[in-house]
Amino acid sequence: MDTETSTHEPADHAAIRAEAAAWLAQHWNPALDSRTWLATVVDAGWSAPSWPVEWFGKGITPDAARAVDDEFKKVGAGGYGQDVTNLWANTVLAFGQDELKREVMRPLLLGELDMCLLYSEPGAGSDLASVQTRAERDGDEWIVNGQKVWTSGGRQAAYALLIARTDLDQPKHRGITFFFFPMKQAGVEVRPIRQATGDSRFNEVFITDARVPDANRLGELNAGWWVLQTALMYERAVMGVTQRRDRDKEKAKINRDPTSEWSAPVPDLELVEFARARGRTGDPIVRQDLARLHCMRMVNEWNGRRAKALMEQGSSTPLASLGKLAMSGILHFAGRLQVNLLGPEGALWGPDWPDSADASYALHNAFFTSIGGGTDQIQRNIIGERILGLPKEPEVDKHVPFREVKKSPGRTLTR
């Protein structure tokens, strides 16, 4: 039985499902290039159907929007679901001023604007409320000074989501403001960092007297901490169901949105085939590990659906942390298994050993998900406090004006 089109479906879902199916029957053409198709989907309002009509949506409920996604999946068409998966566009929709939305919303949905996250600093990673980058008002603009680090995609980015301190006399969570920050300007210097995988995907960013218009402020002055919570929730939800696309991208079978840097993890079946090709499927330990990996993925997928359903109802859900933590465990487990399947050959690296290089890459790249977007330990803290109801960690500096808080070494605040 096709559970997606159950006869118990509410009437409004069935109606929008039929409308989407009819639209797809008329417009979907697998031969279209992906960008043309995406533009068609965005302009027709199917890419983010739960959004307001004036912002590329259809004004339907989030639940009904998932019926639309089902219809797209059925025919294999991409470009749907951005009302859940596009962290940049969702953050701008929720907190941006209309002027900014008019300028960037469509390019964001079309994946035409390269973006990055200017959150972490040398003295503020897990504890992001300790950011020291300053933004000071100058007429209709803000002048920004500071240093960010681990900025993925910083070199290509046209804009960043930036958190900066705007009031030193407020306690640390309260004096932060969130900006949609233009990267391509004098005063923004991006320096690549070399990673364990050999890539240089992330960077240090030095910001000196750079400018951002007040029209690009997301949310209220000094309320950036709460904007950040929403943006992090979208990021963690995406990381809970996907992995950063890596050097295997040409091989990845599931890759429905060519404009996204994220793709679904390599399916378990590929690992089964890999084990079979190497004569390892008779090994009981290998069989057990393959089955375990499959079960972990299934459970995480169901958890992801729960998180998605809650997010669609507008709640900032700690379940996204559970999904991200689980995905981190899955990617580490899968990477280890892939290396183990190769035996001693798994230790090799380089173009002559493509299978070993792939496996090593998978092993190392798993750390992306266990550190980026908030470490595994931080996700455990969130789960402990917000799902299990355990006592909060003590925070001695929570109510102290940030000016008086002891800062990490090497950082100086001049004003």
Ligand X SMILES: Cc1cc2nc3c(=O)[nH]c(=O)nc-3n(C[C@H](O)[C@H](O)[C@H](O)COP(=O)(O)OP(=O)(O)OC[C@H]3O[C@@H](n4cnc5c(N)ncnc54)[C@H](O)[C@@H]3O)c2cc1C
Is residue 197 near ligand X by the rule CB under 6 A? no
Stretch that binds ligand X, among 7-15, 20-28, 138-146, 375-383 (CB under 6 A): 375-383
Which residues ranging from 267 to 306 are in contact with ligand X (CB under 6 A)?
none
Residue from the set 37, 55, 178, 202 that interacts with ligand X by CB under 6 A: 202
180 CB-near residues (< 8 Å, 6+ apart): 92, 96, 100, 104, 159, 160, 161, 162, 212, 216, 217, 218
For residues 53 and 387, which CB has a smaller minimum distance to ligand X in the complex? 387
211 — phi, psi (to 5°)? -125, 145
| DSSP label at residue 214 | G
102-110 long-range contacts (CB < 8 A, ≥24 apart) are 104/159, 104/180, 105/55, 105/56, 106/42, 106/56, 109/38, 109/42, 109/47, 109/48, 109/56, 109/82, 110/35, 110/38, 110/39, 110/42, 110/259
3-state secondary structure of 391: coil
Total residues in contact with ligand X, by rule CB under 6 A: 20
For residues 145 and 151, which CB has a smaller minimum distance to ligand X in the complex? 151
For residues 47 and 242, which CB has a smaller minimum distance to ligand X in the complex? 242
Q: Contact letters (x/-) for ligand X, 12-51, by CB under 6 A?
A: ----------------------------------------
Q: Which residue has the tokens 């230790």?
A: 347
Residue from the set 48, 68, 104, 117 that interacts with ligand X by CB under 6 A: 117
User: Closest distance between ligand X and the C-beta of residue 302, in Å?
Assistant: 26
Q: Positive or negative, the Cα torsion across 123, 129, 135, 141?
A: positive
Q: If we measure between CA atoms, which residue out of 105, 106, 103, 134 comes closest to residue 118? A: 134
Is residue 120 near ligand X by the rule CB under 6 A? yes
Within 196-258, strands assigned E span: 202-213, 217-218, 243-244
Which residues ranging from 125 to 164 are in contact with ligand X (CB under 6 A)?
125-126, 150-152
Stretch that binds ligand X, among 60-68, 111-119, 245-253, 332-340 (CB under 6 A): 111-119
**Taking the mean position of all CA atoms in its chain, how far away is CA 242?**
9
Stretch that binds ligand X, among 14-22, 83-91, 119-127, 396-404 (CB under 6 A): 119-127
Is residue 229 near ligand X by the rule CB under 6 A? no
3-state secondary structure of 171: strand
For residues 196 and 299, which CB has a smaller minimum distance to ligand X in the complex? 196
For residues 239 and 339, which CB has a smaller minimum distance to ligand X in the complex? 239
Residue from the set 352, 393, 412, 415 that interacts with ligand X by CB under 6 A: 393
CB 345 within 8 A of CB 356: yes
User: Closest distance between ligand X and the C-beta of residue 23, in Å?
Assistant: 36
Is residue 119 near ligand X by the rule CB under 6 A? yes
For residues 102 and 399, which CB has a smaller minimum distance to ligand X in the complex? 399
User: Closest distance between ligand X and the C-beta of residue 261, in Å?
Assistant: 11
Is residue 200 near ligand X by the rule CB under 6 A? no
Is residue 61 near ligand X by the rule CB under 6 A? no
DSSP string, 101-168: HHHHHHHHHTT-S-EEEE--BTTBSS-GGG---EEEEETTEEEEEEEEEEEETTTT-SEEEEEEE--T
Q: If we measure between CA atoms, which residue out of 101, 85, 104, 103 comes closest to residue 93? A: 101
For residues 22 and 196, which CB has a smaller minimum distance to ligand X in the complex? 196
- Provide the token pair at 303: 């958890």
Residue from the set 378, 379, 382, 402 that interacts with ligand X by CB under 6 A: 378
3-state secondary structure of 29: coil
Give kind and range of the element (H or E) at residue 320. helix 319-342
Is residue 116 near ligand X by the rule CB under 6 A? yes
User: Closest distance between ligand X and the C-beta of residue 369, in Å?
Assistant: 8
- Taking CB atoms, the residue at the shortest distance from ligand X is 125
81 forms beta bridges with none
Residue from the set 6, 185, 315, 377 that interacts with ligand X by CB under 6 A: 377
Residue from the set 27, 381, 385, 401 that interacts with ligand X by CB under 6 A: 381
64 CB-near residues (< 8 Å, 6+ apart): 10, 12, 13, 16, 49, 50
Q: Contact letters (x/-) for ligand X, 328-367, by CB under 6 A?
A: ----------------------------------------
Within 45-101, strands assigned E span: none
25 CB-near residues (< 8 Å, 6+ apart): none
Q: Give the binding site for ligand X (CB under 6 A).
A: 116-117, 119-120, 125-126, 150-152, 202, 368, 371-375, 377-378, 381, 393
